[in-house]
Structure 1
Amino acid sequence: MPIRIADNLPARRTLEAEGVIVMGETEAARQDIRPLRIALLNLMPDKITTETQIARLLGATPLQIELTLVRLSGHVSKTTSAGHIAEFYRPFDEIQTERFDGLIITGAPVETMAYGEVTYWDELRRIFDWSQTHCHRLLTICWGAMAALHYFHGVPKHPLAAKAHGVFDHEVRASGSPWLRGMSDVVPVPVSRWSEVRSADLPAGLTVLLESEESGLCLVDDPARRALHMLNHLEYDTLTLDTEYRRDGSGPVPRHYYRNDDPANLPRNTWRTHGHQLFGNWINEVYQTTPFDLDDVGAVLQV
């Protein structure tokens, strides 16, 4: 089944060219089916790229997905055109009375700041609370995962001496987890961050699913909050790390990414299948456990 997005969202052309089945709002209205409602709170500066990356992974699953793009009500993006935001994004204040089967919260370029110094921290805390009453499942990514772990469990983040940048092998720590179904014992994952969350700081009740000896935590299961926290970037495109490296103009070469670690060579994508597997597992779990009636979404999950 296809992913349902706005008829003229830029991601639509990209996904159709890749063979992803995309359904516009007009076509979807003709079908008598309840799609899974997934909200994407996109905090990344390049919103169009992130929309495409997430929609690609959601659209590869066999279920019909209705993707709602959400923005913060009290923060104005300076890196994506106001016209794009106005046309395709709904402010949180507008959707907060609605219910969703899943909520995805991305990373943001604020990880070197204390949480309380982030201008939209108060609104994000409201969204975290709202996710527990109006969303069936929560998936957080990079800084979004750090922020969620801090807000829900008081887990600190620690600054790194140098940016963790590259594709690192991560070992499976909980092979029976439904989130890791179909994955290899070792999972390469793109990493791009200036801080980290440490497994030693996690309280009881959280389960480490993927972890790297080089780059630390990657994936944490948080059943009490119906949440999955991914500290890295399985959604990244092949050239995303390359774009970041050349944009910054300095800093270490992303490790284990280019052939022979030489940026003159093209990178190889070694994580694509695992990204599809993780998002497919998440969507499957949402589908298997969400209530049929959206009014029942947000009820306490028995774990």
Structure 2
Amino acid sequence: MVNLMPIKQEVEYQFSTIFEKIDRDIELKYIYPTTHNYKNISLDYLREKYIPMNKIGEDVYDAFIVTGAPIERYNYEDVDFWQEIDSFFKKNKHPTIYICWGAQGALYSKFGIEKYELDKKLFGVYEHEVKEKNPFIKNRFYAPHSRNTYNKKESIEEAGLIIIGESDEAGVYMCSTADYKSIFISGHSEYQPERLKFEFERDRGEIPKNYFVENNPENEILFNWENHRDEFYKNWIEFIGG
């Protein structure tokens, strides 16, 4: 997993929780870009628990996951580790899930697909329709979104990618190459129930849509994306593992 998020332990917890439910022998290793200036995590922690991105060719992996990062309003070329991650995007031939900014960056690197700023932040939990028969998800599903930018559907289709999941409100959620080796996800099914509440309280912005019962922050959270999350990652592991 190429973990691009500032609070790395949170992402580690999110994905370890997901993979612990899958009845397969899964070894999860974490990777970090070496060209980034880290402010929220100590280099000692990274050196102890993570593999430098420039060393990943020395080990054998079955697949990768590339996380998002809170840098979506930056031009790609202005991101300090862009050259490093762009090189990875272009060279990587393994089955890979790219998430949020990781998906946008990979779509730009691989296909020249631009991102565009939304009029306001897309923030909440949205229902999606399965648009194309695929090995991972079968039925309508819910998933969280938390982003300020998007990719145009027509650009995705012009690149020859398959749209797997889409929402009338949130747009394209999941697309992939025809062989399913590269999967691009604009939302965050990996989120734990409390993550959007944390962002809401941190930013003091709009209430996340379809997240609290009756859209009231005093009420409990509607954790209605868990089944989709577990189904998708279990089926993805089966797909790459044979």
TM-score normalised by the chain length of structure 2: 0.95
- The alpha carbon displacement at 1:204 in A equals 4.4
Unaligned runs of 5+ in 1: 1-39, 289-303
SS at match of 2:28: strand
1:36-71 CA distance string (max 9 Å, x none): xxxx00001111010111122122222111111101
1:248 aligns with 2:203: yes
Matching residue of 1:140? 98
1:58-100 CA distance string (max 9 Å, x none): 2222211111110101113211233322211111112223331
Within 5 A, what are the aligned runs for 1:83-232? 83-132=44-93, 136-174=94-132, 176-180=133-137, 183-184=138-139, 186-202=140-156, 203-223=158-178, 226-232=181-187
1:234 aligns with 2:189: yes
1:257 aligns with 2:211: yes
The amino acid across from 1:235 in the alignment is E
SS at match of 1:65: coil
The amino acid across from 1:215 in the alignment is A
Whole-Å separation in 2 of the counterparts to 1:104 and 1:258: 29
The amino acid across from 1:279 in the alignment is Y
- The alpha carbon displacement at 1:154 in A equals 1.0
- The alpha carbon displacement at 1:200 in A equals 1.2
SS at match of 1:160: strand
Which structure: larger Rg? 1
- CA change 1:225–1:211 in 2 (3 A) is closer
Unaligned runs of 5+ in 2: none
1:282 aligns with 2:236: yes
Whole-Å separation in 2 of the counterparts to 1:82 and 1:265: 39
Within 5 A, what are the aligned runs for 1:263-278? 263-278=217-232
1:203-229 CA distance string (max 9 Å, x none): 242110111101111000113682111
After TM superposition, the structure 1 stretch with the greater mean CA deviation from structure 2, 279-288 or 198-207, is 198-207
How many residue pairs align between the two structures?
241
SS at match of 1:56: helix
The answer to whether the Cα contact below 8 Å between 1:160 and 1:196 also exists between their aligned partners in 2 is yes
TM-score normalised by the chain length of structure 1: 0.77
1:3-34 CA distance string (max 9 Å, x none): xxxxxxxxxxxxxxxxxxxxxxxxxxxxxxxx
Whole-Å separation in 2 of the counterparts to 1:275 and 1:83: 32
The amino acid across from 1:126 in the alignment is S
> Which consecutive segments of 4 or more residues in structure 1 shift more than 6 A?
none
The answer to whether the Cα contact below 8 Å between 2:107 and 2:113 also exists between their aligned partners in 1 is yes
Whole-Å separation in 2 of the counterparts to 1:226 and 1:215: 24
Whole-Å separation in 1 of the counterparts to 2:43 and 2:222: 35
Question: Percent same amino acid among aligned pairs?
Answer: 31
Whole-Å separation in 1 of the counterparts to 2:176 and 2:115: 17
The answer to whether the Cα contact below 8 Å between 2:90 and 2:110 also exists between their aligned partners in 1 is no
